[in-house]
Amino acid sequence: MTRENKVTLYFVRHGETQYNVERRMQGFCDSPLTEKGISQAKSVGKGLEDIPFIAAYSSDSQRVQDTAKYAIGERNIPLIIDKRLKEMNFGVLEALLEDEIPSLYGDALDKLFSLDVNACAPEGESYAQLFTRTEQAVKEIVEKHASDGGNILIFSHGVTIGNYIIQVTKSNEFQVHENCSVSVVSYENGQLQVEKIADTSFRNEGSKQVN
């Protein structure tokens, strides 16, 4: 059996967007990065600049692709787009203000935030469905790079990253992933290790050089 080399994945949530500021549900729908979001993306890139990355992957949402491009900057890291890394589909709740949802759809948000694996927004996808596509994408990324090993950037979304970590660690506690926070997961010979969850230190340290 060929020995697999260690593959370390750096999951990065996208920078702040207009919908984040307005507190709108933003899953499959999209909105542009704010100036702060652009600064966050550049900052996390600066904070990660001493780590040699062999590849980067991104959700197909524009906010994530833009975050990836600002973070990668002038570094020669190939960026691959994978729609399976997209945010959870919030169905009829997409683009709605969080404050207006109770009057329109009752306790839909409460059910969604219960984190039950089968919970979903009306006409949206469940956490179980989200994990299935995310896990498939991550598994393929790890397998692709296992022969050589190395560090991989994965630019994605708060719920997508958080749900993935909850499912692989069998945890019952969802940690909020701030914009451009970093979660680190490594794989070696079939063994998974979560090294960091929603760490903002890369972004914060990088901001000292960007701003």
Taking only the tens place, the pLDDT of each residue in 5-57 is: 999 999 999 999 999 999 999 999 999 999 999 999 999 999 999 999 999 99
The pLDDT of residue 1 is 39
The pLDDT of residue 123 is 97
Cα–Cα distance, 201 to 171 (Å, whole number) = 23
Q: Is residue 1 part of a domain?
A: no
CATH code where residue 180 lies: 3.40.50.1240
Q: Is residue 2 part of a domain?
A: no
* Beta carbons within 10 angstroms of residue 42's beta carbon: 22
Cα–Cα distance, 36 to 16 (Å, whole number) = 6
Q: Is residue 16 part of a domain?
A: yes
Q: Is residue 110 part of a domain?
A: yes
Q: Is residue 156 part of a domain?
A: yes
As annotated, the active-site residues are 14, 87
Domain that holds residue 66: 7-210
Total number of domains in the chain: 1
Q: Is residue 158 part of a domain?
A: yes
Burial category of 74 from C-beta neighbours within 10 Å (exposed 0-12, middle 13-18, buried 19 and up): exposed
One digit per residue, pLDDT tens: the chain, 211 residues?
355 799 999 999 999 999 999 999 999 999 999 999 999 999 999 999 999 999 999 999 999 999 999 999 999 999 999 999 999 999 999 999 999 999 999 999 999 988 899 999 999 999 999 999 999 999 999 999 999 999 999 999 999 999 999 999 998 888 889 999 999 999 998 889 999 999 999 999 999 988 6
Report the chain's mean pLDDT, rounded to a whole number. 95
Q: Is residue 12 part of a domain?
A: yes
